[in-house]
Amino acid sequence: MAKALIIGAGGVAQVVVHKCCQNPDVFEEIMIASRTKSKCDALKAKLGGGPVKIHTAQVDADNTVEVIALINEFKPDIVINVALPYQDLSIMDACLATKVHYLDTANYEHPDTAKFEYKWQWDYKERFEKAGIMALLGSGFDPGVTGVFCAYAQKHYFDEIHTIDILDANGGDHGYPFATNFNPEINIREITANGRYYENGKFVETPPLSVKKEYNFDQVGQKDIYLLYHEELESLAVNIKGVQKIRFWMTFSEKYLTHLRVLENVGMTSIDPIMFEGKEIVPLQFLKAVLPDPASLGPRTKGKTNIGCIVQGIKDGKPRNYYVYNICDHQEAYQEVGSQAISYTTGVPAMIGAMLMLKGIWMKPGVYNVEEFDPDPFMEALNEHGLPWQENFDPVLLD
C-alpha cells in the first residue's frame, strides 16, 4: 500500500485520480496538488469517502522549494506529474532532494522555446541512480503505450525491427468548430512545429503538416493523417535496437486545419510576448483562455480513438508485419471517469506505470522510458484497466 502525490488537476489528472481510487490495494492515500486548489477540491468532493484517502493542496510546481515542502509534509512514495511539461525539471529536482520516485507523461520543454527533447531529463540519470530512486518518463499513451507496444513487438514477434509507424486517430466529434483535446497551448505548439522522422540513424525534418496520407482505421474509418514529430521517436530510436525508420502520424480534419491556419496567420499561435493594454501577454496563452477547456469536452464528445503501431521487420528469416492498437470510446470513457478518451488514454497508463513501480515490478534506480522495461505486465494491465488492445498480422502498410 502506497501514497501518491498527483501534481496537476486538469483533464489527465482527473483520470489518474479516478483510476487510483479504483485501485485501493495499491494507492492507499493520494494527494492532489495543483496551481488552482479549487480544482483539486472538486475532485476530492467527487471521489472522496471511498477506501482511498484523498488530500488536496495548492502548489506552484515551477517552484522546487514549494514542491519539496509538500513532499516533506505528505511523504509520498511517488510523484505523478500530470501538470505541464514546463514543470518536469522542477519536480524532478524536488524528487531528488527528497528521494521520492517520479513519473510523467510528457517530456520537458522550456516555455519560451517550442522544442521538446529528452536531453534535459536523461541528464538526471546518474543523479537518480545515486539517490536510489526511479523516474519513468512518458507513461501516457503516446508517448507511453506506443513505446510498450514496440517493446512487446520486439519481445514476442521480431528478431529485427526495421520500420515503426505510430498512428494516432481521433474519430471524436465534440461539436465545437475548433477545440483541442488536451492542453491547447501544448497541443498547438506540437502541431505547428516542423515535422520530423527518423531514418537510417538521423532525423529528417519536414515543414509543418506537409506530409499527408490517408488511412482506414478500424472502427474510426478513413482519415487524413499527417506526419508529426512526437517525443517517443527520440527514445525509440535509441531503445529499439536496429530500427531503421520511425514515423508518427496523426489525424486532423480539414475543418481543424483551416481554423489552425487562420489562427497562425493572424498571429494567435505565437509564443512571443506582446504588449496589450499595458500588460505583456503571450498570444497562444490568450488563445488557450478563449478556447473550450479540454476538461469540458467530455460530455459532448462522441466517437472513438484508435492509436497503435505498425511494425515491420524479420522473424525467423522471413519478413513480418504487425499492427497493435487500442480503440477507446469517448462516451464510455466519460461514463466511467467523467473525461473524454484523450485524457482517458493518457491517465490510465500513468496510473499503470505508477502501479508497476509501486509494486516493484518496474523498479530500478535511474531515469527510464517505458520501452526499457518488460512490456508484458503493462500489456496485461492495459487489458484489465480499460485500454484493451488488438493485433493484426496482415495490416495495410504505409509506403
Interface contacts to ligand NAP, rule CB under 6 A? 7-13, 34-36, 39, 59-62, 82-85, 87, 105-106, 138, 140-144, 182-183, 186, 294-295, 342, 346
Nearer to ligand NAP by Cβ, of 40 and 320: the residue is: 40
Residue indicated by cell numbers 529528417: 204
**What CA–CA distance (Å, rounded) separates 95 from 133?**
8
Minimum distance from residue 37 beta carbon to ligand NAP (Å): 9
Q: Are 321 and 357 contacting, i.e. CB atoms less than 8 angstroms apart? A: no
Q: What share of the chain is helix, strand, coil (3-state, %, to 5)?
A: 40, 30, 35
Minimum distance from residue 318 beta carbon to ligand NAP (Å): 33
Specify the DSSP class assigned to residue 139.
-
DSSP string, 256-318: HHHHHHHHHHTTTT--S-EEETTEEE-HHHHHHHHSPPGGG-GGG-BSEEEEEEEEEEEETTE
Nearest residue to ligand NAP by CB is 10
CA geometry: angle 195, 196, 201, nearest 5 deg: 175
**What CA–CA distance (Å, rounded) separates 145 from 236?**
12
Nearer to ligand NAP by Cβ, of 61 and 237: the residue is: 61
Minimum distance from residue 384 beta carbon to ligand NAP (Å): 19
Nearer to ligand NAP by Cβ, of 243 and 295: the residue is: 295
Minimum distance from residue 5 beta carbon to ligand NAP (Å): 12
Minimum distance from residue 228 beta carbon to ligand NAP (Å): 13
Nearer to ligand NAP by Cβ, of 84 and 250: the residue is: 84
Long-range contacts, 32-35 (Cβ 8 Å, 24+): 32/6, 32/56, 32/57, 33/5, 33/6, 33/7, 33/57, 33/58, 33/59, 33/61, 33/70, 34/7, 34/8, 34/9, 34/10, 34/58, 34/59, 34/61, 34/83, 35/59, 35/60, 35/61, 35/83
Minimum distance from residue 14 beta carbon to ligand NAP (Å): 7
Of 124, 69, 148, the closest CA to residue 350 belongs to 148
Minimum distance from residue 247 beta carbon to ligand NAP (Å): 17
Nearer to ligand NAP by Cβ, of 122 and 344: the residue is: 344
How many other β-carbons are positioned within 10 Å of the β-carbon of residue 126? 10
Residue indicated by cell numbers 477506501: 51
Nearer to ligand NAP by Cβ, of 36 and 335: the residue is: 36
Nearer to ligand NAP by Cβ, of 158 and 344: the residue is: 344
Q: Are 311 and 161 contacting, i.e. CB atoms less than 8 angstroms apart? A: yes
Nearer to ligand NAP by Cβ, of 37 and 53: the residue is: 37
Kindly state the cell numbers that stand for 149. 507496444
Minimum distance from residue 336 beta carbon to ligand NAP (Å): 17
Nearer to ligand NAP by Cβ, of 144 and 366: the residue is: 144
Nearer to ligand NAP by Cβ, of 103 and 209: the residue is: 103
Minimum distance from residue 293 beta carbon to ligand NAP (Å): 7
Minimum distance from residue 345 beta carbon to ligand NAP (Å): 7
Of 148, 118, 155, 152, the closest CA to residue 135 belongs to 118
3-state SS class at 203: strand
**What CA–CA distance (Å, rounded) separates 135 from 94?**
12
